[in-house]
Chain A
Amino acid sequence: MSKFILCCSFFVASLLFVSCFPSSEQATKTIPLPKSTFVDSAYFDFAKHIEIAEYSNYFIIKTGTQLEHEYIVVSDSYKLPDSLSSYTRIPYPVKNIACMSTTQVGLIEFIGLANKIAGIANSKYVYSDVIQQRIKEDLITNLDQQDLESWIKADIDLVLLSDPQAAFQEKLQALGIASLIMPEYLESHPLGRAEWHVIFDYLTDDYSNNRQNWAEVISLYELLAKKASEIKTKPSVMTGLPYKGTWYMPGGDGYLAQLIEDAGGNYIYSKSQGTKSMSLDLEAVINTCDTAQFWINPGTATSLQEIQAADSRLANLRPFQDSLIYNASKRQSASGGYDLYESGVARPDLLLQDLIKFLHFNDDRLQYFERLN
């Protein structure tokens, strides 16, 4: 009997001992956080292809022409409710950003967050001295899409892509690296393109102190545009350079068309629709651009001779004969990187200033552009 009582006592004691520890299910059960409430949304004056909403526990970012790319920027510790599971998760705060385009570099540098850039694809094409110095100091890695090891080594936590690349994004996801589609080049206003810098305020925990600079950019741009609109003559402008008879011409709804219009110019293809470039036949462009007075951004050409070497027929165009061809090659790195596609993205006011100077005042003291001889 005593043995029985001893066994029962041991059994009860064992049960009590075991019950003192929580079950594995109970151990991992998270305490539900208070429901996130809407706080505010970022207001964009010019950018149309981005939306940002701020909630108490996270940010919702939507990008794309139809705002089809949806992201939730949230700290790792926060458990997302099912209703938000369809959003692509970006860890907050982002510490190491990878840029796949120099335009992104320009925007990040403008906002004073160059220290957040940890990797750049084709970094040799970056113009900025600050970034090049950081590359030399191994603070920024040159990233290669085929070499994923370099991405891990650089400890990247967010990749900025201009367009969706499903296969590559899947690989990144498998490595635990988030990606964000940033089609700022599809904006129809140069200020809209530049305004995308605001996104970095929400991705990182370093709130920029660049509000004043941005306000100055808007103010100067609008002032210059107003002055240019008062000039009665509107010189016609063409752009680009053909290769093997195909001419890529920016669409009439694109930011370049708007920049030319704001500079008091008349973009030859201003009536064409769309923001993307159109692949046009050489014959059509020669015929349409017969009346053009100015020619800007002729590819990588830095002289009239190079344009003629590309296609001898281009020498018959009026801007060529009048030597009124301007390219943004003034600020070009030795390896071929154009600052137009870097700081020029964030400073449309300076670009506008250049355009107004040469379109209306025959003034060649320019910052980004230079007249080709």
Chain B
Amino acid sequence: MKIKSHIWWCSVFSILIIGIVLHLQFGSSSIGIIQAFQEEQAAFIFRQVRIPRLLMALVSGAAISISGLLMQTMFRNPIAGPYVLGVSSGAGLGVALSILGGSLFSALGFVQLSTFFSFPITETIAAILGALVLLFCITILSSRLRDGASLLIIGLMIGMAVSALVSIMQLYGSEGEVRRFVLWGMGSLAGVTNSDLVFIIPICLACFIASFLLHKRLDLMLLGEEDAEAVGLNIKQTRYSIIAIAGILAGIVTAYAGPIGFVGIAVPHLCRVTLKTSSHNILVPASILLGCTFLVYCDLLSKLPGLELTLPLNAVTALIGAPIVIRYMLRSQKWFV
């Protein structure tokens, strides 16, 4: 399944450029690129809706992919990812607390605590904290486990426990709050504004650069902790760096766009399988490029061009991504190279 490296980069890059053009040209309104230069209303929609949405698709596709790649490397587990390990659930818990926490504590009689949630704690901060706490817990538990399967089961259990807490909060939330949380859970890039991107893009870019700078350490992590330590790797420091980067990336995207499943697992795999490498100086930029491409096309479909309606992004990523990964799985039969 090896594709020559330069062909891979050129093909994916070309597909991405086409995707960007299509994403800008087609939306839920009939406005096209040319009209953006002619009409004031069209220009507003381009500046304020389509371009921020496209940028968010590019950034979040790359962010979730890198987050998945880092987790897979750290846990040396091919199906680790923000969604599978419950990190997205942690971010979800943070968002649930910021949306539904007030009603829950009010119902339980903790009125003073409920007023705390009426302060404008942003969903973003809550989501990042939730993701980091969950990832930290999983990392501590992973050091006590011998095999990857147990880790995934623990991730699943933590995810279920978090879901249970969220269910309790939903039970006590008002109709409006529950609806807001359900909508958030479906995933959408349409709610992101230019002012949000001023916050999101620099943080994500810093994380991308940091993850690229970690590439040698990430390669050593694949040897296993003992061997990596034997060749001089500071395991503890590397782990914390990975947790911080993966947690921030997963948390920030989940806060603004909702939990986007599948991308975090699928994209790093596709990169490994198609490029036949485990070297992170290739995998990091490759995951960024393929992640961007994948999410740009998924979001293009979720916009349902020509119709005014919209589809949940989460559903689209799974429906498109699952067959692709299954196909590659069946053809390659290998996860790590």
Query: Contact check: which of A279, A286, A299 meets B49 at CB < 8 Å?
Result: A286
Q: Is the CB of B195 within 8 A of A283?
A: no
B67: Cβ under 8 A from any A Cβ:
no
A209: Cβ under 8 A from any B Cβ:
no
Partner-binding segment picked from B40-48, B135-143, B215-223, B269-277: B40-48
Q: Is the CB of A288 within 8 A of B183?
A: no
Q: Is the CB of A316 within 8 A of B48?
A: yes
* B308, closest chain A residue (CB): A284
| Separation of A29 and B269 alpha carbons in the complex (Å) | 73
Query: Contact check: which of A244, A279, A284, A316 meets B258 at CB < 8 Å?
Result: A244
Q: Is the CB of A312 within 8 A of B193?
A: yes
Q: Which of B125-180 contact A (CB under 8 A)?
A: 171, 174-176, 179-180
Q: Is the CB of A280 within 8 A of B188?
A: no
* Distance of A216 from chain B, by nearest CB (Å): 31
In the complex, per-residue mask of A274-303: 1 if CB is within 8 Å of any chain B CB, else 0: 000011111111111010000000011000
* B190, closest chain A residue (CB): A245
* Distance of B201 from chain A, by nearest CB (Å): 17
Q: Is the CB of A243 within 8 A of B310?
A: no
Known A146-B171, A316-B44, A336-B174; contact A283-B190, beta-carbon cutoff 8 A:
yes
* B42, closest chain A residue (CB): A287
Residues of A within 8 A of B190 (CB): 244-246, 281-283
B191: Cβ under 8 A from any A Cβ:
yes
Q: Which of A142-199 contact B (CB under 8 A)?
A: 144, 146
Known A242-B191, A288-B29, A300-B176; contact A280-B310, beta-carbon cutoff 8 A:
yes
Residues of B within 8 A of A146 (CB): 171
Q: Is the CB of B191 within 8 A of A281?
A: no
* B41, closest chain A residue (CB): A290
In the complex, per-residue mask of B178-203: 1 if CB is within 8 Å of any chain A CB, else 0: 01100110101111110100000000
Residues of B within 8 A of A300 (CB): 176
* B123, closest chain A residue (CB): A244
Residues of A within 8 A of B179 (CB): 243
Known A245-B189, A281-B28; contact A313-B48, beta-carbon cutoff 8 A:
yes
B27: Cβ under 8 A from any A Cβ:
yes
Q: Which of B27-66 contact A (CB under 8 A)?
A: 27-29, 31, 41, 44-45, 48-50, 53
B309: Cβ under 8 A from any A Cβ:
yes
Query: Contact check: which of B50, B174, B189, B310 meets A279 at CB < 8 Å?
Result: B310
Q: Is the CB of B28 within 8 A of A284?
A: yes
Residues of A within 8 A of B280 (CB): none
A270: Cβ under 8 A from any B Cβ:
no
Interface centre among B45, B179, B180 (most CB of A within 10 A): B45
Query: Contact check: which of B27, B31, B188, B303 meets A244 at CB < 8 Å?
Result: B188
Residues of A within 8 A of B41 (CB): 287, 290
Residues of A within 8 A of B48 (CB): 286, 313, 316
Residues of A within 8 A of B310 (CB): 245-246, 279-281
Interface centre among B31, B174, B180, B303 (most CB of A within 10 A): B174
* Distance of A307 from chain B, by nearest CB (Å): 13
| Separation of A278 and B309 alpha carbons in the complex (Å) | 8
A311: Cβ under 8 A from any B Cβ:
yes
Residues of B within 8 A of A290 (CB): 41
* A291, closest chain B residue (CB): B41
What is the size, in residues, of chain B's interface with A at 8 Å between Cβ atoms? 34
* A278, closest chain B residue (CB): B309
B304: Cβ under 8 A from any A Cβ:
yes
A125: Cβ under 8 A from any B Cβ:
yes
Query: Contact check: which of A245, A286, A287 meets B188 at CB < 8 Å?
Result: A245
In the complex, per-residue mask of A224-247: 1 if CB is within 8 Å of any chain B CB, else 0: 000000000000000000111110
Interface centre among A243, A281, A285, A316 (most CB of B within 10 A): A281
Q: Is the CB of B27 within 8 A of A283?
A: yes
* A337, closest chain B residue (CB): B174
Q: Is the CB of A279 within 8 A of B176?
A: no
Residues of B within 8 A of A336 (CB): 174, 176
* Distance of B244 from chain A, by nearest CB (Å): 26
A122: Cβ under 8 A from any B Cβ:
yes
Q: Which of A304-348 contact B (CB under 8 A)?
A: 311-313, 316, 336
| Separation of A125 and B107 alpha carbons in the complex (Å) | 13
* Distance of A107 from chain B, by nearest CB (Å): 18
Q: Is the CB of A288 within 8 A of B258?
A: no
Residues of A within 8 A of B258 (CB): 244
Q: Is the CB of B31 within 8 A of A122?
A: no
Query: Contact check: which of B176, B191, B304 meets A282 at CB < 8 Å?
Result: B191
Q: Which of B284-313 contact A (CB under 8 A)?
A: 303-304, 308-310
| Separation of A299 and B175 alpha carbons in the complex (Å) | 12
* Distance of A172 from chain B, by nearest CB (Å): 18
Q: Which of A246-281 contact B (CB under 8 A)?
A: 246, 278-281
Residues of B within 8 A of A246 (CB): 183, 186, 188, 190-191, 310
Known A290-B41, A316-B44; contact A125-B191, beta-carbon cutoff 8 A:
no
Known A146-B171, A287-B29; contact A280-B308, beta-carbon cutoff 8 A:
yes
Q: Is the CB of A311 within 8 A of B193?
A: yes
Residues of A within 8 A of B31 (CB): 287
Known A146-B171, A244-B190; contact A283-B183, beta-carbon cutoff 8 A:
no
* Distance of B168 from chain A, by nearest CB (Å): 10
Residues of A within 8 A of B192 (CB): 245
| Separation of A288 and B308 alpha carbons in the complex (Å) | 10
Residues of A within 8 A of B175 (CB): 122, 125
Q: Is the CB of A283 within 8 A of B176?
A: no
Residues of B within 8 A of A287 (CB): 29, 31, 41, 45
Q: Is the CB of B309 within 8 A of A311?
A: no
Q: Is the CB of B171 within 8 A of A281?
A: no
| Separation of A288 and B29 alpha carbons in the complex (Å) | 8
Q: Is the CB of A281 within 8 A of B304?
A: yes
Known A243-B191, A244-B190; contact A122-B49, beta-carbon cutoff 8 A:
no
Q: Could you give 25 example pairs across A and B, Cβ below 8 Å?
A: A144-B171, A146-B171, A242-B191, A243-B179, A243-B180, A243-B191, A244-B191, A244-B258, A246-B190, A246-B191, A278-B308, A278-B309, A281-B303, A281-B309, A283-B27, A283-B45, A284-B308, A286-B45, A287-B31, A287-B45, A288-B29, A299-B176, A300-B176, A313-B48, A336-B176
Q: Which 7 A-B pairs have the closest CB atoms?
A: A245-B190, A244-B191, A281-B28, A284-B308, A287-B29, A284-B28, A245-B191
Which residues does A use to contact B, with CB under 8 Å? 122, 125, 144, 146, 242-246, 278-288, 290, 299-300, 311-313, 316, 336
